Structure 1
Amino acid sequence: MNATTPSVQNYTQENATYGFQQTELFFSGPEPIAIIVIISVIFFVGILGNVALLSYVICCNRLTSPHNIYSTNLAVGDLLTLIVAMPFLSSIYIMTTWPFGELVCKFSEFTYTLSTSITVFMITALSVERYRLLTLHPPSLNLTSASVTSFILWLLAIMLAIPDLVSAETLAFGDFRYCVPYRVNWGETYAKTMVAIKFTCHFAGPFGILLFRFDFSGLCLLLLQKASVSKRFRRIYRDTS
């Protein structure tokens, strides 16, 4: 034990020195400036677009369809990402350490998961609504059903984000502090489980729904087109006979 302890300490110290050198190299290059410019463009364009949408819907009293209800909730989720989550998350690209403390770390991870979840859920709901407009008669849900659906999706997004509010913490490594979403002492199983759940809810599940809807919608359009062409030929044949 005594013989191996110095070697472990030296190895850790060498890794810390290497990590510090790599970090200094990154922040001395053009990457932080490029990241700041890109994030700033996304921030201002996103704010203007979503505020304009909300202003139009609210001021003109356009909450008259499920599509507008889902679009409004989507805009709220986008603003939550832009105003609350993005500033804190972008700091990891432009700062060498996490300066905001553990409470802000927890809040930023919670907000990021919440805004991501509601954005994905509302895009999926809009896709399903488009499918209903194309294939069903009457074509869409009523306003009450759309409002209840939006409320349920917000609840699911909050439930998905609450674990990050509990598990996020700051870790100290030498002179650096980092905000991590999962506690180290909870083990890899918890982290892998949460990653799998988020992958399913944010990508695999919505992607499967979108893929099915688009394929089925394309099939419906093809059948409608064939029916229209067949009706046209029958009309031409009847007129010429």
Structure 2
Amino acid sequence: SGAGGAEENYTPYGERLETYIVPIVFACILIVGVTGNGVLMVTICRHANMRNVPNTYVLSLAIGDLLVILTCVPFTFTVYVLDSWPFGLLLCKVSECAKDISIGVSVFTLTALSADRFFAIVDPMRKLHATGGGKRATRFTKVIATLIWLLAMICAIPASFSYLRVFTVNKNVTFTTCYPFPEEFGPSYPKIVLICRFCILYLFPLAIIAFFYILMARHLMQSTRNIPGEMQGQVKQIKARKKVAKMVMAFVAVFAVCFFPQHVFMLWFYLNPNAQLDYNAFWHYFRILGFCLAFMNSCINPIALYCVSGTFRKYFNRYLLCCCCTPTRRRTSIINSNRRCQSFSFTTSRRHTSSRRGQQSAINLPIWNPSNVSDTRGRSMPQEQETTVTIFQNGVEQRT
């Protein structure tokens, strides 16, 4: 939001490359983001074994990402496609607020996850982190997640002041855009908001996360040296916690990379007094890169989780490939079921015919017997009831 080149460098939207590339990128973000985060939410909500403390935070991340995808992505990309914002004031405010709420939920949740991983590894006897799946730990996590959303909403209050601002490029060209910094708040307002946003939603949380991970790495190196070789259970537990820590670190790295270009551009543009004159092709495409990466963060988390977590990968494959694999799986299930039945019948037959010369395998084939017959033990069978008769065919004992 809120940047434009010098008047003499203005190029009509129809002649810009980004007019055709950005919609394709955002269409991919929409499809991948809705699918990935949707499957992630279904996986955690439907399977009881996936409901633990770290996955509660992951669910919160997915909800925040889905919020920004559904409320921002279908509308915000028009900044690079249309001359003016076509959706009105309400959607302007909603999209800006949803974007800031999602950013806040992401970074605060990642901070909470990092703290949770730190205490799970350094102080595993605590009951309020992921080492325990008890009700107390779950309630505590839900309270923290709720507070994170409230804090993110508070941080998004400045976005609620967004309005439709008219910019004049030259005497022939004017356009209306969704602008987050009201003019009546003064020229210093954008600088204050951007600096606070950079510190609260990027710099400070990442510094706290880095602090937790440095202490965590130090503790793991020390504990690995001190663990006797025979304490294999403790070694496996530490390895499992390391896997979750790596998953969180992947999320943090994705967030840091995705939002760094946007913060750099916004700070440069609003803090540099000569930004309007210095704005050139490099800064223009750097701005587009930051714009796309910031929204791309909302669809990359499920991909990162798929890569680093074997458990989530299993569920993702089940839900994403079910349409293609359902007929094959059905046939395979039927075949396997028949094989299990045959194996069971074979075992049963061996038990009953062990005293006979030349043990035979048995396959149970129920039929309808309309007349009185005798079974292998000479007992009379009533009419019109389902029964089993043993016969020999091709060296195999079959019950019919």
TM-score by length of 1: 0.81
2:156 aligned counterpart, secondary structure: helix
Of 30, 40, 56, which residue of structure 2 is paired with 1:43? 30
Matched residue, 1:173: 167
Mapped to 1, the partners of 2:71 and 2:49 lie a distance apart of: 27
Mapped to 2, the partners of 1:23 and 1:79 lie a distance apart of: 34
Mapped to 2, the partners of 1:188 and 1:212 lie a distance apart of: 36
Indicate whether 1:58 and 2:49 are aligned: no
Mapped to 2, the partners of 1:61 and 1:181 lie a distance apart of: 42
Moved more, 124-133 or 76-85: 124-133
Question: Which amino acid is the alignment partner of residue 119 of structure 1?
Answer: S
1:53 and 1:146, CA in 2 relative to 1: closer, same or farther beyond 3 A?
Answer: same
Indicate whether 1:198 and 2:197 are aligned: yes
2:48 aligned counterpart, secondary structure: coil
Mapped to 1, the partners of 2:194 and 2:48 lie a distance apart of: 40
Mapped to 1, the partners of 2:188 and 2:50 lie a distance apart of: 44
1:63 and 1:162, CA in 2 relative to 1: closer, same or farther beyond 3 A?
Answer: farther
| Preserved CA contact (<8 Å) 2:96 2:180 | yes
1:153-168 maps to which residues of 2 (within 5 A)? Answer: 153-165=148-160, 167-168=161-162
Matched residue, 1:239: none
Question: Which amino acid is the alignment partner of residue 145 of structure 1?
Answer: F
Question: Which amino acid is the alignment partner of residue 60 of structure 2?
Answer: N
Question: Which amino acid is the alignment partner of residue 147 of structure 1?
Answer: K
- CA displacement at 1:61 relative to structure 2: 3.4
Mapped to 2, the partners of 1:189 and 1:210 lie a distance apart of: 30
Structure 2: gaps spanning 5 or more residues: 1-5, 130-136, 169-173, 230-400
Mapped to 1, the partners of 2:98 and 2:11 lie a distance apart of: 27
Between the two proteins, the alignment pairs up a number of residues equal to: 211
1:55 aligned counterpart, secondary structure: helix
Q: Which has the larger Rg?
A: 2
Matched residue, 1:70: 57
Q: CA RMSD in A?
A: 1.8
Question: Which amino acid is the alignment partner of residue 208 of structure 1?
Answer: A
Question: Which amino acid is the alignment partner of residue 187 of structure 1?
Answer: G
- CA displacement at 1:191 relative to structure 2: 2.0
- CA displacement at 1:63 relative to structure 2: 6.1
Mapped to 2, the partners of 1:41 and 1:132 lie a distance apart of: 37
Mapped to 2, the partners of 1:137 and 1:181 lie a distance apart of: 45
User: Percent same amino acid among aligned pairs?
Assistant: 27
1:94 and 1:163, CA in 2 relative to 1: closer, same or farther beyond 3 A?
Answer: same
Question: Which amino acid is the alignment partner of residue 111 of structure 2?
Answer: T
Mapped to 2, the partners of 1:192 and 1:73 lie a distance apart of: 30
Question: Which amino acid is the alignment partner of residue 21 of structure 2?
Answer: A
- CA displacement at 1:134 relative to structure 2: 1.1
- CA displacement at 1:62 relative to structure 2: 4.8
Indicate whether 1:129 and 2:128 are aligned: no
Deviation digits for residues 189-226 of structure 1, max 9, x if unmatched? Answer: 22222212211221111111111011111101110122
Matched residue, 2:20: 33
Mapped to 2, the partners of 1:204 and 1:108 lie a distance apart of: 24
1:183-222 maps to which residues of 2 (within 5 A)? Answer: 183-222=182-221
Deviation digits for residues 72-117 of structure 1, max 9, x if unmatched? Answer: 1100000011111222221111211111222221111111111111
Moved more, 144-153 or 91-100: 91-100
Higher RCO, Cα 8 Å, sep 6+: 1
1:188 aligned counterpart, secondary structure: coil
Matched residue, 1:152: 147
Of 85, 90, 112, which residue of structure 1 is paired with 2:77? 90
Structure 1: gaps spanning 5 or more residues: 1-14, 233-241
1:138 aligned counterpart, secondary structure: coil
- CA displacement at 1:41 relative to structure 2: 1.4
Deviation digits for residues 138-172 of structure 1, max 9, x if unmatched? Answer: 2543111111101111110111112211x211111
| Preserved CA contact (<8 Å) 1:56 1:62 | no
TM-score by length of 2: 0.50
Mapped to 1, the partners of 2:179 and 2:27 lie a distance apart of: 24
Mapped to 1, the partners of 2:125 and 2:84 lie a distance apart of: 56
1:23 aligned counterpart, secondary structure: coil
1:171 aligned counterpart, secondary structure: strand
Q: Which structure dedicates a bigger proportion of its chain to helix? A: 1
Question: Which amino acid is the alignment partner of residue 144 of structure 1?
Answer: R
Mapped to 2, the partners of 1:45 and 1:163 lie a distance apart of: 30
Matched residue, 1:237: none
| Preserved CA contact (<8 Å) 2:45 2:51 | no
